[in-house]
Amino acid sequence: MGGWQSVFTVEELEEYEALTCFKSREIIRCYQKWCGIIPNDFPKDFITRLDKKIFIERFVEIACNPFADRICHVFSSSEDTEDGSINFEDFLNMMSAFSEKIDPEAKLGYAFKIYDFNQDGVIDEEDIIQMIHTVCDVDILDEEEVQLLIVNILKEADLDGDGKITYNEFFNAMRKSPDFYNIPPVSETEIIAYIGVSKTDEFILNYWSARH
- Distances in Å between the Cα of 130 and the Cα atoms of 87, 98, 149 are 27, 22, 12
- Among residues 85, 108, 90, 61, the alpha carbon closest in space to that of 208 is found at 108
- In the complex, the smallest distance separating the C-beta of residue 105 from Ca ion, rounded to whole angstroms, is 19
- Residue with smaller CB distance to Ca ion, 56 or 154: 154
CA count, 13 A, side-chain hemisphere, 155: 8
Instruction: Determine, following the binding rule CB under 5 A, whether residue 156 of this chain makes contact with Ca ion.
Output: no
Supply φ then ψ for residue 165, to 5 degrees: -100, 115
- Among residues 138, 109, 130, 139, the alpha carbon closest in space to that of 208 is found at 109
- Distance (Å, whole) CA 19 – CA 34: 18
Instruction: Determine, following the binding rule CB under 5 A, whether residue 116 of this chain makes contact with Ca ion.
Output: yes
- Among residues 172, 209, 174, the alpha carbon closest in space to that of 97 is found at 209
- In the complex, the smallest distance separating the C-beta of residue 157 from Ca ion, rounded to whole angstroms, is 8
Q: Of these, 90, 156, 158, 202, which contacts Ca ion (CB under 5 A)?
A: 158
Site string for Ca ion, 173-212 (x = CB under 5 A): ----------------------------------------
Instruction: Determine, following the binding rule CB under 5 A, whether residue 120 of this chain makes contact with Ca ion.
Output: yes
- In the complex, the smallest distance separating the C-beta of residue 49 from Ca ion, rounded to whole angstroms, is 25
Instruction: Determine, following the binding rule CB under 5 A, whether residue 155 of this chain makes contact with Ca ion.
Output: no
Q: Which residues bind Ca ion (CB under 5 A)?
A: 116, 118, 120, 127, 158, 160, 162, 164
